[in-house]
Structure 1
Amino acid sequence: MQAKSYDVVIAGGGFVGRALALALAKVAPGGFRVALVDAEPPGKDRDDARASALSAASRNLLSVLGVWPALEANAQAITSIEITDSGLNATLRPHLLGFEEELTPGVVAFMVENRDLHRALAGAVRDAEAIAVLAPETATDYRADAFRAVVTLGSGSEIETPLLIAADGKRSRLRERAGIQCIAWSYPQVGIVTTVAHSKPHGGKAVQHFLPAGPFAILPLKGERSSIVWTEERDRARAIVERDEAGFLAELSKRFGSRLGEIALAGPVQSFPLDFQFARGFVADRLALTGDAAHAVHPLAGQGLNIGFRDVAALAETIVEAARLGLDIGTAPVLERYERWRRFDSIFSATVMDGLNRLFSSDSAPLRALRDLGLGLVDRAPQVKRFVVREAAGTTGAVPRLLRGEML
């Protein structure tokens, strides 16, 4: 029996895979017939305690995809950011760097709970007639020739396409099958995430407190709640997560401080290992890597998903423009344009996050004095602050159309 054929096959039903499927099936002129290979059963809610900070560019992308209206009511705007640096037991946490006036309407970020984003993207994909969701299913292998890629699924069946896109995470089977090597290491840290309720309003302020074990972020959510992203030394993190609720809250309170009053857990506590990973190449024969399959970064600035959405916008635009010219979208000249577009930006973001984590995850008094001096100087340099905010908002450089809120 001849394998079923699609214009594009996307392996991976996470945020990046679904957003790309929507971009190609709904926004691209004429649309593409897309197969989305998702390991999760249809309709399953994902147990994810995290929230994501969506940049202005990511919000633009979701707006064009028709997803933002389903998120807007529960999205919390970040109206100010404060950065502090001190030891765990320090009585004072002096303000070192802040952003408020720089957060104009065009660059404001929004906090969105991952479960809400999952439901919104899943609903939009379900309603898109041009997207065939193959689930629960995985892409286990592929082979490519001059005209097509034949994708082997976990069920044993095969499908074919001119272009296969790996959005299957940092342990991507397709990246491994293509022989693409990675620069990678594991941090001696663990990420702890949860949601807390507090007795005082946060006013939309996000706080990043650098501690010797790693950054501790308090990120505002709708209502008097905040998302916690807590980086901790691996052994210490295991002991903290295994404590009962009272013991966990006692450790959390040491880092959270008292500015928002009494706190209580308002969601599950989850932990995950922290890794740096960067693929040496983003493309191979009829294959393109996106999201965590191409790069995994430290979560200290909350940019991982935004970088993945930049991949979505750049790859969708590359594919659409090639198709308009009548080109084969899976050939090397087309895919190499995507790689050139995304590789430098991705490695720059990844190395900056890695460098900041290494710089601030230290209890050295001289080093703290130097970095605090540096933060203070930035705080007194309005032009530098505006550039930092625009960079985080995804509005600098060669910005793809979808990230500018424009149709393809």
Structure 2
Amino acid sequence: MDNAAKAPILQTMNYDSDIAIVGGGLNGTAMALALVRSGLSVTLIDAASLPTRAAPDFDGRSYALALTSKRMLAALGLWDGLSENAQPMNQIKVTDGRINDGHAFLGLHFDAAELEEGPMGYMVEDRHLRHALLDAVEAEPNITHMSAARVVAQEVTTTAATLTLEDGKTVTARVIIGADGRQSGTAERAGISRTGWSYDQTALVCAIAHEKPHQGIAHQFFMPSGPLAILPLKGNRSSIVWSEKSDLAQQINGLSDEKYLQILRPRFGDFLGEISLAGARFTYPLNLTLANSVISDRLVLVGDAAHGMHPIAGQGLNAGLKDIAVLAQVMDEAKRRGEDIASPLVLERYAEWRSFDVATLAAATDVFNRLFSNDSSLLRLGRDLGMKAVNAMPNLRRGFMREAAGLTGELPALMR
């Protein structure tokens, strides 16, 4: 990145912080921690209250962190505290089938033993990752954390960006970063439009306890209505992300726990023995939504505010963390050169670095979902033959594994 066009030299002005981040979830907190490593000051504005964010109970939500995301958390000083609660994904098994098939046909098998770097990724519960990030934010003197604070307006001039909060307070910064999700108010207020569509699918999310050990194996079971992911957690527990047509998903979610399990069991199979719920149940609609630009004047989007994708590959949070690692590096390099980090030339470096990777991932998740979420006998035959072929070609199989681990493409320093 050192041969990039030279941005304007920083001009001195008084700001509340160098950076104002809108959104205090996982991406917002990670973004703040990545930026202060460069000596930048950050105001982190979260619409949710701190007690809500810091709730200690397990609520069923978990994340599949790619190997490179684990490296980033280690670089931020968080992994030592997370590692004892992180479950390595030693294998991934992909099956194509129908309800009541169980796991009758194994199409693809990825084994981490084939990668010299180690496990392809780790499963971490939301509560552990959220608490690690929040604790680090609260301990960092260069981060001002404003919770239960809602942004209602933003204004950008040639010299500053100003956010107005619901209570009338204002925050001035050199740059605004939107980390406020798929319905980003930051993007909307900047006039950034979005491209995308609904899949008419809804994800049913929960955690289960099961009788038999999972051996650190993640399962992706493709059914005509959508994929069912069974992802290993610490102990005899797994995280479930189960896609159904939206109307049916809402009906299922409205059932009692026992009736919910009665519908899940034939889809799940009996390979892990008896199952029971181990946490709350959630639903969220599945769609593709891409910001038509991830930058504007003194403004940048990261995470779901920039790109929301189908969870079929489990890469949503990993893509957001890569945004953060890239933007932190671009701003650090600009600061070292004495450039204005708010310059369009600096922000464009971030946009260019992420554009191909994001477009490729969005296209891949869209195509895979359309290819597998149907019951066409011709497509079933084609995809099953394709999975068998990949399984039989070690180099191609390792290529897919390296992609899942986040090891391909130009990696930012935090992920190397």
Question: Normalising by the residue count of structure 1, what TM-score does the alignment of the two structures yield?
Answer: 0.95
**Cα deviation 1:134-156 (Å, max 9, x = unaligned):** 11112222111222111112221
Contact persistence 2:209–2:276 (CA under 8 A): yes
Alpha-carbon contact 1:76-1:112 (below 8 Å) kept: yes
Shift of 1:90: 2.9
Alignment of 1:181 with 2:183, yes or no, is: no
Q: Does 1:66 align with 2:74?
A: no
1:301 corresponds to which residue? 313
Three-state SS of the structure 2 residue aligned to 1:207 is: strand
CA distance in 2, matches of 1:58, 1:130: 23
Residue 24 of structure 1 is matched in structure 2 by 35
What is the match of residue 37 of structure 1?
A: 45
Aligned length: 400
SS of residue paired to 1:21: helix
1:253 Cα deviation after fit: 0.5
Stretches of structure 2 lacking an aligned partner (at least 5 in a row): 1-12
Once the two structures are superposed, residues 222-260 of structure 1 have per-residue CA deviations (whole angstroms, 9 ceiling, x without a partner) of: 000110010011111111111112211111111111111
Contact 1:4–1:158 (Cα < 8 Å) also in 2: no
Cα separation, partners in 2 of 1:397 and 1:333, compared to 1, 3 Å: same
- Does the residue aligned with 2:352 lie in a helix, a strand or coil? helix
Q: Deviations over 1:287-326 (max 9, x none)?
A: 0000011000101111000000000000000111111111
Per the alignment, residue 204 of structure 1 pairs with 216
Between the aligned partners of 2:280 and 2:186, the Cα distance in structure 1 is 32
Aligned 8 A contact 1:17 1:36 in 2: yes
CA displacement 1:317-373 (0-9 Å, x = unmatched): 011111111111111000000000011111111110111011000011111001111
Give the distance between the partners of 2:116 and 2:211, measured in 1 at CA: 28
Give secondary structure in 1 for the equivalent of 2:60.
coil
The answer to whether 1:57 aligns with 2:57 is no
Alignment of 1:141 with 2:149, yes or no, is: no
1:207-218 counterparts in 2 under 5 A? 207-218=219-230
**CA separation in 2, counterparts of 1:89 and 1:262?**
16
Distance 1:337 1:233 in 2: 39
Question: What is the CA deviation profile of residues 119-147 of structure 1, one whole-angstrom value per residue up to 9, with x for unaligned ones?
Answer: 11111101111100011112222111222
Residues 248/91 of structure 1: CA separation in 2 closer, same or farther (3 Å cut): closer
1:98-247 correspondence runs (5 A): 98-100=109-111, 101-247=113-259
> Is the contact between residue 101 and residue 269 of structure 2 (CA under 8 Å) also seen in structure 1?
no
**How far did residue 104 of structure 1 move?**
4.1
In the alignment, does 2:20 pair up with 1:12? no
Whichever residue aligns with residue 95 of structure 1, its letter is: L
Using the alignment, how far apart are the partners of 2:325 and 2:102 within structure 1?
45
How big is the shift at 1:89?
3.0
Contact 1:107 1:389 in 2 (8 A): no
The root-mean-square deviation of aligned C-alpha atoms, in Å, is 1.5
Measure how far apart 1:3 and its partner are: 8.8
Tell me, in whole angstroms, the C-alpha distance in 2 between the residues paired with 1:7 and 1:148. 10
Q: Distance in 1 between matches of 2:116 and 2:240?
A: 25
User: In structure 1, what is the equivalent of residue 98 of structure 2?
Assistant: 87
Corresponding residue of 1:260: 272
Q: Aligned partners of 1:36 and 1:385: how far apart in 2?
A: 41
Q: Deviations over 1:149-168 (max 9, x none)?
A: 11112221111111110001
Could you report, residue by residue, the CA deviation over 1:44-78 in whole angstroms, capped at 9, with x for unpaired residues?
33585221000011001101111112211110000
Q: In 2, Cα distance between the equivalents of 1:396 and 1:268? A: 35
User: Which letter maps to 1:79?
Assistant: N
Could you tell me which residue of structure 2 aligns to residue 322 of structure 1? 334
Structure 1 residues 102 and 238, CA, compared in 2 at 3 Å: closer, same or farther?
A: same
Q: Once structures 1 and 2 are overlaid, which stretch shifts more, 89-98 or 76-85?
A: 89-98
- Judge conservation of contact 2:60–2:278 (CA < 8 Å) in 1: no
Inter-partner Cα distance in structure 2 for 1:221 and 1:92: 20
User: Could you say which residue in structure 2 is the equivalent of 1:269?
Assistant: 281
Q: Confirm or deny: 8 A CA contact 1:378 1:384 kept in the other structure.
A: yes
State the shift of 1:280 in Å: 1.0
Give deviations 1:353-396, integer Å, cap 9, x for gaps: 11101100001111100111111111111111111111121111
Distance (whole Å) between structure 2 residues aligned to residue 399 and residue 328 of structure 1: 24
Counterpart position of 1:346:
358
Distance in 2 separating the partners of 1:64 and 1:161: 26
- Cα distance in 2 for partners of 1:146, 1:106 equals 48
TM-score relative to the length of structure 2: 0.93
- Which amino acid in 1 is paired with 2:43? A
Q: Which residue of 1 aligns with 2:348?
A: 336
Q: SS where residue 29 of structure 2 aligns?
A: helix
Query: In 2, are the aligned partners of 1:84 and 1:97 still within 8 Å (CA)?
Result: yes
Partners of 1:162 and 1:18 lie apart in 2 by 18
Q: Distance in 1 between matches of 2:100 and 2:34?
A: 48
Cα distance change, pair 136–372 in 1 and its aligned pair in 2 (3 A): same
Work out whether residues 141 and 173 of structure 1, in 8 Å CA contact, stay in contact via their aligned partners in 2. no
2:86 counterpart of 1:75: yes
Q: CA, structure 1 residues 353+175, in 2 after alignment: closer, same or farther (shift >3 Å)?
A: same
